[in-house]
Amino acid sequence: MKPLLITIDGPSGAGKSTVSRRLSERIGYTYVDTGALYRAVALAALTEGCAADDDTRLAEICRHLILKFQNTSKGPRLYANGHDITARIRTPEISMLASAVSARPVVRTYLLDVQRKMGKGGGVVFEGRDMGTVVFPEADIKFYLDADPETRALRRYKELAEKHAATSLAEVREAMKKRDEDDSSRALAPLKPAPDAIRIDSTDLEIEQVVEVLLRHIEKRTK
Ligand code: DC
């Protein structure tokens, strides 16, 4: 059977990352976290002192940015020009900046190309916001994973608390609301389900249960 291209879109805190990673492990596929790519551009902009709306400098930054994922015993790592940036892109500051740079056409055009190259040949689970709508409209199976906003905020808060980040649930809730609104209302590739996406609500489901639901859909489609 030909290797499939699977997309999983949805807002932050819906469980996309863990679900996508587990799913890819179960079916032996490569996992690509496209949010990490936007975060990498944000980190490069921050390091260079480039404003999130400075398109000329953002274009220059993208031109010199080589992004590579590598699977290691510590899970997938992201390298920017040879440097492991996996941990550094997970701060609340980078989350907001990634959302801001992701609205810029120069950044989206650059990453569109990077993502499509990563998808050549299939056998990949792509996780993001516009995977099924813009980057891979021809994907074999598309999922849209969502959960109610309070559940998503609580999940994100727990994740940050585990990393000892000094932030409150109220701050996480506010930041998430802003990011959701920005990501959904931007002109270019806004967050929304593809018309042919299978929609799943993970509010009352454990990660493993969501993975099982996805696997059942994949089996049904490939029978
Ligand atoms: O999934 P994440 O929280 O790591 O994504 C960070 C930001 O990147 C998110 O707020 C919006 C942007 N993003 C995007 O615009 N398109 C994608 N395919 C993935 C992420």
Region 82-94: mean pLDDT is 95
Residue 108 beta carbon below 6 angstroms from any ligand 1 atom: no
- Residue 87: pLDDT band with limits 50, 70, 90: very high
Q: What is the pLDDT of residues 170-181, one digit of tens each?
A: 999 999 999 999
- The dihedral region occupied by 122, where left means phi > 0, alpha psi between -120 and 50, and beta the remainder, is left
Ligand 1 atom closest to Cα of residue 182: 10
Q: Which amino acid is at 190?
A: P
Residue 14: pLDDT over 90: yes
Residue 159: pLDDT over 90: no
Residue 45: pLDDT over 90: yes
Query: Cα of 219 to ligand 1 centre, how many Å?
Result: 28
Q: What is the pLDDT of residues 56-80, one digit of tens each?
A: 999 999 999 999 999 888 889 999 9
Q: What is the pLDDT of residues 95-109, one digit of tens each?
A: 999 999 999 999 999
> What is the model's pLDDT at position 73?
84
Q: How far apart are CA 40 and CA 66, in angstroms?
A: 10
Q: Over the chain, what is the mean pLDDT?
A: 95
Phi, psi of 83 (to 5 degrees): -100, 135
Do residues 20 and 207 touch, judged by C-beta distance below 8 A?
A: no
> What is the model's pLDDT at position 186?
93
Residue 39 beta carbon below 6 angstroms from any ligand 1 atom: yes
Structure tokens, 24: 């890819």
Q: Whose CA is nearest to atom 15 of ligand 1?
A: 102
Region 14-42: mean pLDDT is 96
Domains of the chain (ranges, CATH numbers)? 5-215 (3.40.50.300)
Q: How far apart are CA 104 and CA 82, in angstroms?
A: 25
Ligand 1 atom closest to Cα of residue 89: 4
Q: DSSP class of residue 139?
A: -
Q: How far apart are CA 18 and CA 134, in angstroms?
A: 23
Give, for ligand 1, the residue of 39, 85, 95, 102 to mutate: max count of ligand atoms closer than 8 Å to Cβ: 102
Query: Cα of 193 to ligand 1 centre, how many Å?
Result: 14
> What is the model's pLDDT at position 7?
98
Q: How far apart are CA 198 and CA 60, in angstroms?
A: 38
Residue 2: pLDDT over 90: no
Query: Cα of 12 to ligand 1 centre, how many Å?
Result: 8
